Amino acid sequence: MTLPTPEAHVRDVTEVVERRSAGESEFLQAVREVLDTLAPVLAEHPEFIEGGILERLVEPERQYIFRVPWTDDQNRVQVNRGIRVQFNSALGPYKGGLRFHPSVNLSVIKFLGFEQIFKNALTSQRIGGGKGGSDFDPTGKSDAEVMRFCQSFMTELVHHIGEHTDIPAGDIGVGAREIGFMFGQYRRITQRYEAGVLTGKGVGWGGAEVRTEATGYGAVFFAEEMLARASQGIEGYRAVVSGSGNVATYAIEKVEQLGGKAITASDSSGYIVDEAGIDLDLLKQVKGVERARISEYAERRPGSHYVAGGSVWDVPAELAFPCATQNELTGAHARTLISNGVRAVTEGANMPTTPDAVEAFQGAGVLFAPGKAANAGGVATSALEMSQNAARSRWDRDKSESRLHGIMRDVHEATYDASERYGKPGDYVLGANSAAFVRVAQAMLEQGVI
């Protein structure tokens, strides 16, 4: 059999995905971003071409789309759409969060599920990739409405998940409150206390210490490793951070613990600048406890100010952490950051940087860490939560954080080493994609054509 060249093979598979998933712009973006870097790996491993690995990898193993009916506080019936995509289980049970946001559709969930395969492979925790969610908008809903929605969502999802098959967790719009409501309904329907079926649980009933902080902390640990290679550190640097949810809050916390100064946070309405450094207690109170808008922070904190609309990327800093959502940092933003002297950009969110912005950073010699490596700390700690659940044990904070730190060092090393091996030392996009792809592809090859 004559094999196509790696470049031709990548082109052929990309064309199939473009035809089959026409209109799924986020998914196509994520697929192209990975496939475009894989030719050197395929040149080294022609058996991956022969084994049809790429063709299989871009097609989810299974996808569920379902109706989620619930009743609001005015007794009106509401209907949302629920989705779970089980993308790839070559390395272990499907693992990936649930996102509740009005922008959720099949393309968004497929892009996140596809990314999750590679991220999970990089953690070395033997977990496959999946993702799910709903176009339900928790903003402005009462706790009782959120509970009724979560119960209805789980009433269908229960048929598809389990501690050895598929283990969901949180993402945008899904935190400890939602995980609690969903776990309660799972337990009620199955009559089983299967703690390992969801991660991100309350620490009093099976959740892992430091899971809440893990994604943000992990991203800063990754940045620290990347900067150390370039003989720099977090200390003394200013950081611009977007978002003000789970990932952003704990990225800010770790930057401050390591001697840097985080000076911004944002939500979908605007951003705040606090040159003295973000007051974390106030941020957690406003966004976490009160679920209020970020503008509220500026009203209560002298010396800070709020900018409606706009973007945090206009604020000069050496470090940037996009931690809100996909495609929030564009080519124009990248050029502003570069001219303002940014040295490292670390993705806390999934695919927050557009392809032209990534190219601009890499062209300008700015260190750039893609989310599938840099934000892997969250899912890695979820896997540690699963281990603790299986062993019916509980680790303390120190042990949990030090395991997270160790995993992020390993992810950095594997990523950097792969960038060297495939000819572009310090290209973390190439490094993350290729290191992860080899692990998944090898497992798929060894498990036969399924």
Q: Which residues bind ligand NDP (CB under 6 A)?
A: 170-173, 215, 243-248, 267-268, 323-325, 328, 348-350, 375, 378
Distances in Å between the Cα of 175 and the Cα atoms of 184, 270, 291, 358 are 14, 22, 12, 29
Q: Are 30 and 57 in contact (CB under 8 A)?
A: no
HEC string of 74-123? CCCEEEEEEEEEEEECCCCCEEEEEEECCCCCHHHHHHHHHHHHHHHHHC
CB of 379 to ligand NDP, least distance (A): 6
Whose Cβ is closer to ligand NDP: residue 49's or residue 407's? Answer: 407
Whose Cβ is closer to ligand NDP: residue 246's or residue 362's? Answer: 246
How many CA atoms, within 13 angstroms, populate the side-chain half-sphere of residue 91?
Answer: 26
CB of 112 to ligand NDP, least distance (A): 6
Whose Cβ is closer to ligand NDP: residue 6's or residue 133's? Answer: 133
Q: Are 187 and 193 in contact (CB under 8 A)?
A: yes
Whose Cβ is closer to ligand NDP: residue 6's or residue 138's? Answer: 138
Name the closest residue to ligand NDP (Cβ): 245
Active-site position among 95, 110, 119, 131: 131
For 307, the enclosing helix (H) or strand (E) is strand 305-308
Cβ-defined contacts of 116-119 (< 8 Å, 24+): 116/87, 116/379, 117/57, 117/87, 117/88, 117/436, 117/440, 118/34, 118/372, 118/432, 118/433, 118/436, 118/437, 118/440, 119/371, 119/372, 119/373, 119/375, 119/376, 119/379, 119/436
CB of 87 to ligand NDP, least distance (A): 15
Whose Cβ is closer to ligand NDP: residue 82's or residue 216's? Answer: 216
Considering Cα of 336, then 341, then 345, then 348, what sign does the dihedral take? negative
Q: Are 309 and 293 in contact (CB under 8 A)?
A: no
CB of 177 to ligand NDP, least distance (A): 11
To the query of whether residue 131 is one of the catalytic residues in this protein, the response is yes
Whose Cβ is closer to ligand NDP: residue 151's or residue 375's? Answer: 375
Active site residues: 131
